[in-house]
Structure 1
Amino acid sequence: MGFNSSKGPSFFDLLTSQADQLVIGVDLLRTLFSAPEDERKALRKRLHEIENTGDELNHQLINKLNQSFITPFDREDLSDLASALDDCMDLFDEAGDLLVLYQVDNIPEPVDGLLSRQIDVLTKCAKLTAENMPKLKRPQDLRDYWVEINRLENDGDKAYRKTLKHLFDTGLDPVTIIKLKDIVEVLEKCTDAFEDLANTVESIAVKES
């Protein structure tokens, strides 16, 4: 039987820390995309470290769930929140990893600009999540958060479709097109992951209202 674990950081503290790591992660991802190829491996290593920190925070929250008899929300909801935050970070890490492994460089316009637009959307999502996760004790007050994340996800979809369109019009060799397409799709999955996170917050708000 579990017990009410009051030791260590609260569930809200752990979720907030996960969200804070997303801001660090997306900033590293942006830097990695614009960095010279010889600097990318070091940046990828740092991004891996941030992803590992996110994993550890996720594990701490799951352990706390297993040790707690009383939780602020349904156990499944808390687990889903932690998992959604972790998914976002995993996809940041995957995008950075692909950029290094594929050795993609000299991305032509307008594809490069559209990739930057996708990362802009992810940056806004990460910062908005970090700003609002500390307010999770009153999820009913976070309507503006999940509405804005859904709007940003729509912006990300538009950038994704335009990127694919221009990518196939670049005249690049097929292998390079496939590599860039993989990266573009991972960034799109990350935008979707932020929407899943916001939807989970909205679901909790409905239950708690």
Structure 2
Amino acid sequence: MLFGKLLPREGNFFEMFNQHADRIVEAARAFSQLVSNYSDPHLREKYNSDVDNAERAADRVTHEVSKTLHQTFITPIDREHIHSLINGMDDVADLIQDSAEAMALYDIRSMTDEIHRLADLSLKCCERLRDAVKMLSHIADAGTAEAALKTCEEIDRLESDADRVLRAAMSKLFREEADVRELIKLKAVYELMETITDKCEDVANTIEGIVLENS
């Protein structure tokens, strides 16, 4: 009887991964709306709150995965992969929240074109990440496994796009921004936002490993 209680519930880990991925997309969408409506203080406050709520919900899922992992004798995929996947995903949610908080902390007065582009790329990365995560429970199917790997490749390309935006933003910043304080603030925000796509790529690499080992 005890051994039976230690066995995992069917699909439970995958369900929690999907829940977390949905919270990541919620946070990324709220952050994108924050950037788009930054000039409106009331909307700025609303979308900041939405980001915070999504991040806290993601934290709860992370805690539940960790708890379930410790209580489960047999897992559907490698335990280390479960640990790496959920912690990497949680890092994505944290970085979205950190980026939103940095804008208030550094008293960013207006959004630049580069911030808009990085927010858009971050949202696309998070959406593709969610798509890849939702395929994990069906990677025994060769077609699904291939689709998951292609989705991870899309995340890699989006991260490369964000790298290029960051490099161009830095070049423009150091050429054109005369106010040293503004330069320092914007540099910090640009770099932090780009790490969202970096972390999405890290999670995509974990997903690739899961797919290749289990399909």
CA contact (8 A) 2:132 2:152 kept: no
Partner of 2:84: 80
CA contact (8 A) 1:32 1:43 kept: yes
Q: Give the match's secondary structure for 2:109.
A: coil
Matching residue's letter, 2:50: R
Q: 2:6 aligns with which of 3, 11, 14?
A: 3
Partner of 2:33: 31
Greater shift, 136-145 or 96-105, is seen at 136-145
- Structure 1 residues 85-140: Cα deviation after superposition (integer angstroms, max 9, x where no partner): 10111000000001111121134xxxx11221111111111111222322102343
CA, structure 1 residues 78+71, in 2 after alignment: closer, same or farther (shift >3 Å)? same
Runs of 4+ in 1 over 3 A off after TM superposition: none
Query: Is residue 197 of structure 1 aligned with residue 200 of structure 2?
Result: no
Partner of 1:168: 174
Q: Distance in 2 between matches of 1:87 and 1:32?
A: 20
Alignment of 1:39-78 (within 5 A): 39=42, 40-78=44-82
Partner of 1:96: 100
Q: CA deviation at 1:54?
A: 0.5
Q: How many residues align?
A: 204
Q: Give the match's secondary structure for 2:175.
A: coil
Partner of 1:120: 120
Identical positions, percent: 29
Partner of 1:138: 138
Q: 1:21 aligns with which of 20, 23, 26?
A: 23
Alignment of 1:104-115 (within 5 A): 104-107=108-111, 112-115=112-115
Q: CA deviation at 1:182?
A: 0.7
Partner of 2:142: none
Q: Give the match's secondary structure for 1:41.
A: helix
Partner of 1:181: 187
Query: Is residue 129 of structure 1 aligned with residue 129 of structure 2?
Result: yes
CA contact (8 A) 2:96 2:196 kept: yes
CA contact (8 A) 2:8 2:75 kept: no
